[in-house]
Amino acid sequence: MGEIIDGKEIARQMRAELRREIQILSDERGVTPGLAVILVGTHPASQGYVRMKRKACADMGIHSFLHELPAETSEETLLALIETLNHQPAVHGILVQTPLPAHIYAQRILEAIAPDKDVDGFHPYNVGLLAVGAPLFRPCTPWGCLELLRSTGVDPAGQQAVVVGRSNIVGKPMALMLLAEHATVTLCHSHTTQLAERIAEADIVVAAIGRAEMIRGAWFKPGAVVIDVGQNRRADGSLCGDVAFAEALPRVAAITPVPGGVGPMTITMLLKNTVIGAGRCVT
Ligand code: GUN
């Protein structure tokens, strides 16, 4: 039977360590990390994520500055706000919650955030630094996945890793991070043929396709380590990942559950990036 990777517990340990770093920043430099969160519109899931991010900041002693803007906010107004925050010394991280309303060109917004405050790691400059192996900020969800992988004791070096999903937020940066750890990486997506055969060769699988229980347990190589980023709803409304967990568990060495796997790590890595940003700032 495989090990169930306890994302909640690993996140708790990482946050305890971060608290110590925040205390040191405060004691030695008088700096309190600050995160600005911008929410445009009233997308219910986004409101929920933003609430969770702010609560996590409050629990850690990180200042959070919420900017809630109406859905009809113009691109220019949003750009002006980002420009202001780029120059505010108390703000070490800026996060624009996505998705944005359709009339706003999201790429232009991401490019307006100062790269040294880009705690999501989505600015093309930061994407480029990640690609050349010199990241300033690592995107939060794939970084959390890497930490979960590390917690199992598996070293990705020389391993076959299959990432399923090519989003800018998870799949692509995950592939780059595994490559930086010296894994041999295959990036699969919705057009990939023979997905089951590719997964069967993998020592490490990261699933981020957003399709409920699409990856079946019998596809895995015995002893593989599986990180499931999926957050899907079954027909009965219950939450599940991209992997058929109950089928996979007896076959694999370790697997993350949904919920309680990757979810708790994403915000933890955002907090860590904010602390890193604060640590780099010149006071
Ligand atoms: N929407 C879904 N995931 C994310 C994320 O990691 N960052 C931001 N800014 N928006 C998101």
What's the total number of domains in the chain?
A: 2
Name the residue at shortest CA distance from atom 1 of ligand 1: 98
* Parent domain of 167: 140-263
| DSSP β-ladder status, 232-233 and 239-240 | antiparallel
Provide, rounded to the nearest whole percent, the portion of the chain with pLDDT above 70: 100
Looking at the structure, do residues 160 and 86 belong to the same domain, yes or no? no
Mind listing the pLDDT tens digit for each residue in 210-265?
Answer: 999 999 999 999 999 999 999 999 999 999 999 999 999 999 999 999 999 999 99
Looking at the structure, do residues 258 and 164 belong to the same domain, yes or no? yes
* CA distance linking residue 226 with residue 157, whole number of Å: 16
Pick the atom of ligand 1 nearest to 139's CA.
Answer: 6
Give the mean pLDDT of 12-20.
98
Active site residue 23: no
* Token pair of 207 as six digits: 């699933």
Looking at the structure, do residues 185 and 254 belong to the same domain, yes or no? yes
Name the residue at shortest CA distance from atom 3 of ligand 1: 98
Mind listing the pLDDT tens digit for each residue in 122-137?
Answer: 999 999 999 999 999 9
pTM beyond 0.95: yes
Looking at the structure, do residues 150 and 108 belong to the same domain, yes or no? no
Q: Is residue 23 part of a domain?
A: no
- φ, ψ of residue 34 in degrees (nearest 5): -130, 135
Looking at the structure, do residues 155 and 217 belong to the same domain, yes or no? yes
Pocket lining for ligand 1, CB < 6 angstroms: 95-98, 120, 140-141, 169
Distance 41 CA to ligand 1 centre (A): 15
* Token pair of 76 as six digits: 């220019």
Active site residue 120: yes
Give the mean pLDDT of 97-120.
98
Supply the CATH number for residue 97's domain: 3.40.50.10860
* CA distance linking residue 102 with residue 72, whole number of Å: 10
CB 109 within 8 A of CB 81: no
Looking at the structure, do residues 161 and 255 belong to the same domain, yes or no? yes
